[in-house]
Structure 1
Amino acid sequence: MTQGHPTGTSAGSERTPAFGVPRQRSAQPLAEPPAADGTTGATAAKKPGRDRYLDLLRTIALVRVVVYHLFGWAWLTVLFPSMGVMFALAGSLMARSLKRPALGVIRGRIRRLLPPLWVFGAVVLTLMFAGGWNVLDDPDHGGALGVVELLNYIVPLGAPPFPWSVGSKSGVLENTWAVQAAGVLWYLRAYLWFVLASPLLLWAFRKAPWVTLFAPLALTAVVGTGLVSIPGETGNAVTDFVMYGSCWVLGFAHQDGLLARVPRYLAVSCSALVMAFGLWWASGHLGPDGWDLNDIPMAQAAWSFGFVVILLLYSPSWQELPRGLARWDRLVTLSNNRAVTIYLWHNLLIMATVPIIDLAYGLPFMENPSATAALDSTYMVWMLLLVWPLIGVMILATGWIEDIAAKRKPRLWPDGRKSKARRAK
């Protein structure tokens, strides 16, 4: 994805694996429904209510995803490996849910994921077709196979088709907007694979916890380093699965209390070594964006693994956010209740900021060269400021679909304010 700039090109920068398109460098298992309660890293003891520490992590991951896709800063993948963190949170929630019959749990997870995807897919496909794309004539997805691949907009087991160029460069959105919009869907595929595999993974974890925990790292060393190459989208999907597999299983370890049984000094020391290995590996395998770990599967897997271990080891059990963070309580609640909506739409909304900001160049005072130069120099800042209200509008417009998918009463702005008011009474 090219950086957004005053001429109207789209914002953000992504890497290339999944779906053969630039891929999210950052994401909760954003498709994972918000936690109903949480566990502490130290004791894994269940307490009623939500674990606000885990909610906070999810919010940080979402914000980091948006900022990363806007600015494309490679160092953000090191500062906070959002995808690894969020896969771990989803794994923990999945392990807790699998105390119930597995088929019902899987059906519930899929039900919560698909309706928001269907709305997103309907909008995106309508725009693609309106822009002149014909899947039957697409050189990459043509014929009957391309039509079959459209089913991935309904159930994301594989790679959804999309045009690399649609519309014109002088259009409202640049002609590569479809690549950026569909780029987020790699995560839904990986999440769905993990959900379907979780009963078997959890069984294996409880039979051989350490083998199951480290096996994905070992497999990443095989398929994520080029030692064994799996061609096409199958290779992309397998690499995604093993790269974040240990983080998902770490969620099991957190939920079952395995991490609590490891001496903290030993767990932190070993995690630091694994993270150091990840950075060392990255230093010798830098991609086109330098230290962007999303271009380097082995480094991403190792760094995310160690990072997540430390986060979960020091996981406090917050029924409420502490005083210094309390001001963000409503934002944390809202982002957790609308995580799928934010994740699905944020890339398209980043691109939508460009034609909106470009309208400012037509204002009368913009004839002054200094005014034009000022807007040019602050363009990305304006994009950052504008994308959040656009996300808010999308939450109002489509976020309630997450409630329907979860069999809850639809809510326009579920930031917890009414719930707190009722408790205060």
Structure 2
Amino acid sequence: MSHGHPTGTGRGAERTPAFGVPRQRTTPAFPEPDPFAATVTAPDSAAPKKPGRDRYLDLLRTIALVRVVVYHLFGWAWLTVLFPSMGVMFALAGSLMARSLKRPALGVIRSRVRRLLPPLWVFGATVLTLMFLGGWNPLKDPDHGGTLGLVELLNYVVPVGAPPFPWHLGSTSGLLENTWAVQAAEVLWYLRAYLWFVLASPLLLWAFRRAPWVTLLAPLALTAVVGTGLVTIPGETGNAITDFAVYGGCWVLGFAHHDGLLARIPRYAAVSVSALFMAFGLWWASGHLGPDGWDLNDIPLAQAAWSFGFVVILLQYSPSWQVLPRGLARWDRLITLSNNRAVTIYLWHNLLIVAAVPLIDLLYRLPFMQSPGAESFLDATDDWWMFALVWPLIGVMILTTGWVEDIAAKRRPRLWPDGRGSKARRARQAA
């Protein structure tokens, strides 16, 4: 007996619908930081600190990545309220971008794009190969307009727009269920939004340092216009602008954190105002529930307001750890690994969730599973079996493709960069 893929189109979204897809439920410091990694972002006015990673921000990055994987697997709408991962990730990236823009803007943008694209190319080449082997022809795809579909394939090279993909490929009884291409390609909305923010950052940072409050609140105002139906922009252009608006406030909050603006606001005032934003977000969501209820990814204005307030509180309490405190130290290597391979984990996790389904189905063929009770138990717990399986699959992908992130960063390739070797080297130097 086989069970269906739990991340099909019947589940909720990790974000506002994009690419025309109904969303599924789905170490020591480096000279040039990773584009997705959280690093020290102390205010310019703060006392100098020893160089190193900000482990608090690294911890937030890891929590955000784990939450994204869990959400896409189980589809629990309440996770979007518990921890708005995408807002947190954009805020951390914005803080890092502000730090980097102390150097000439063109060089910073070139570095960010260089670090982002090679992992995307490996992912895109794999997904497109599987699509073509499955019989997909973009020239004949009714959703992509023939020759235009070929041009749109360039979004697998530079993600400025929406990549084409077949809505259904293969059959429901095939090795992969027939919406696997949708599940694989849908994560690319984040890379598109990230690239847009990187390209806009020199102008955004210039505006923020001249009119900080206007620049900080403008994305929320834009979301109130394009994310509520007041003004409708059709197609992928509308999706991209909505993404930019919803998470623009969080990106600019990263600027505020780096420049020390948040640190200059009394904590009680920052938390009180943030609570008002979050309360407004929940109030708005209560009157605009989507197909999956309280899933904030279906409610742009609620997502923007809740994420904004949530991120302010996280960054206001930022302790800037050089070393994880004792209670978290056991997770140090995992946190280091996830930050060093954040792009790989994010790009591949959805496809690996899909790939886990046929592996779980093999359990039904075991002799001791040939009873109604055993099958019922496996049916009832298949999501948890997938949860247990997807992490080793992610580990395999880190080993086989993660080193591309090092090549993109012009570093020596490493198979498993969890910081263990660096710690041993520092211990020898100290001795």
* TM-score normalised by L of structure 1: 0.95
Match of 2:394 among 379, 391, 395: 391
- Structure 1's 44 and 376: CA in aligned 2 closer, same or farther, altered over 3 A? farther
Give the equivalent residue in structure 2 for 1:224.
Answer: 227
The amino acid across from 1:143 in the alignment is G
Give the equivalent residue in structure 2 for 1:203.
Answer: 206
The answer to whether the aligner puts 1:354 opposite 2:350 as a matched pair is no
Shift of 1:14: 3.6
CA contact (8 A) 2:184 2:351 kept: yes
Give the equivalent residue in structure 2 for 1:416.
Answer: 419
C-alpha separation between the residues in 1 aligned to 2:315 and 2:7? 33
Give the equivalent residue in structure 2 for 1:406.
Answer: 409
Secondary structure at the counterpart of residue 20 of structure 1: coil
C-alpha separation between the residues in 2 aligned to 1:282 and 1:112? 36
Match of 1:170 among 170, 173, 197: 173
CA contact (8 A) 2:88 2:250 kept: yes
Shift of 1:36: 4.4
C-alpha separation between the residues in 1 aligned to 2:228 and 2:207? 25
Deviations 1:181-238 (A, max 9, x none): 0010000000000000000000000010000000000010000000000000000000
Give the equivalent residue in structure 2 for 1:316.
Answer: 319
Shift of 1:17: 1.3
CA contact (8 A) 1:349 1:391 kept: yes
C-alpha separation between the residues in 1 aligned to 2:47 and 2:194? 24
The amino acid across from 2:19 in the alignment is F
C-alpha separation between the residues in 1 aligned to 2:202 and 2:211? 14
The answer to whether the aligner puts 1:250 opposite 2:246 as a matched pair is no
Deviations 1:4-33 (A, max 9, x none): x9424243634261111134789xxxx824
Secondary structure at the counterpart of residue 287 of structure 1: coil
C-alpha separation between the residues in 2 aligned to 1:25 and 1:216? 26
C-alpha separation between the residues in 1 aligned to 2:41 and 2:426? 20
Secondary structure at the counterpart of residue 150 of structure 1: helix
C-alpha separation between the residues in 1 aligned to 2:251 and 2:332? 26
Match of 2:332 among 317, 329, 352: 329
Give the equivalent residue in structure 1 for 2:5.
Answer: 9
The answer to whether the aligner puts 1:144 opposite 2:147 as a matched pair is yes
Match of 2:381 among 374, 378, 381: 378
Give the equivalent residue in structure 1 for 2:275.
Answer: 272
C-alpha separation between the residues in 2 aligned to 1:221 and 1:264? 27
CA contact (8 A) 1:88 1:249 kept: yes
Give the equivalent residue in structure 2 for 1:155.
Answer: 158
CA contact (8 A) 1:38 1:54 kept: no
Q: Percent same amino acid at aligned positions?
A: 82
The amino acid across from 2:250 in the alignment is C
Secondary structure at the counterpart of residue 217 of structure 1: helix
Shift of 1:372: 1.5
Q: Quick check: 392-401 or 45-54, which moved more?
A: 45-54
Give the equivalent residue in structure 2 for 1:20.
Answer: 20
The answer to whether the aligner puts 1:128 opposite 2:131 as a matched pair is yes
What does 1:29-40 correspond to in 2, within 5 Å? 32-39=35-42
Give the equivalent residue in structure 1 for 2:341.
Answer: 338
What does 1:82-121 correspond to in 2, within 5 Å? 82-121=85-124
- Structure 1's 6 and 419: CA in aligned 2 closer, same or farther, altered over 3 A? same
CA contact (8 A) 1:354 1:383 kept: yes
Give the equivalent residue in structure 2 for 1:239.
Answer: 242
C-alpha separation between the residues in 2 aligned to 1:298 and 1:32? 27
Shift of 1:333: 0.2
C-alpha separation between the residues in 1 aligned to 2:338 and 2:426? 21
Give the equivalent residue in structure 1 for 2:266.
Answer: 263
Give the equivalent residue in structure 1 for 2:29.
Answer: none
Shift of 1:42: 11
Deviations 1:345-394 (A, max 9, x none): 00000111110010111111111222222212211110000000000000
CA contact (8 A) 2:220 2:304 kept: yes
Q: Stretches of 4+ moved more than 3 A in 1?
A: 22-26, 40-47
- Structure 1's 388 and 165: CA in aligned 2 closer, same or farther, altered over 3 A? same
Number of matched residues?
Answer: 418
Secondary structure at the counterpart of residue 22 of structure 1: coil
The amino acid across from 2:5 in the alignment is T
C-alpha separation between the residues in 2 aligned to 1:9 and 1:90? 32
Give the equivalent residue in structure 1 for 2:284.
Answer: 281
C-alpha separation between the residues in 2 aligned to 1:55 and 1:40? 17
What does 1:59-78 correspond to in 2, within 5 Å? 59-78=62-81
Deviations 1:151-202 (A, max 9, x none): 0000000000000001111111111100010010000000000000000000
Give the equivalent residue in structure 2 for 1:193.
Answer: 196
Secondary structure at the counterpart of residue 19 of structure 2: helix
- Structure 1's 9 and 24: CA in aligned 2 closer, same or farther, altered over 3 A? closer
- Structure 1's 368 and 81: CA in aligned 2 closer, same or farther, altered over 3 A? same
CA contact (8 A) 1:22 1:183 kept: no
Superposition CA RMSD, Å: 1.8
The amino acid across from 2:350 in the alignment is N
C-alpha separation between the residues in 1 aligned to 2:427 and 2:297? 45
The amino acid across from 1:7 in the alignment is H
5+ long unaligned stretches in structure 1? none
C-alpha separation between the residues in 1 aligned to 2:50 and 2:274? 27
- Structure 1's 225 and 41: CA in aligned 2 closer, same or farther, altered over 3 A? farther
The amino acid across from 2:352 in the alignment is L
C-alpha separation between the residues in 1 aligned to 2:126 and 2:43? 40
Shift of 1:317: 1.5
The amino acid across from 1:92 in the alignment is S
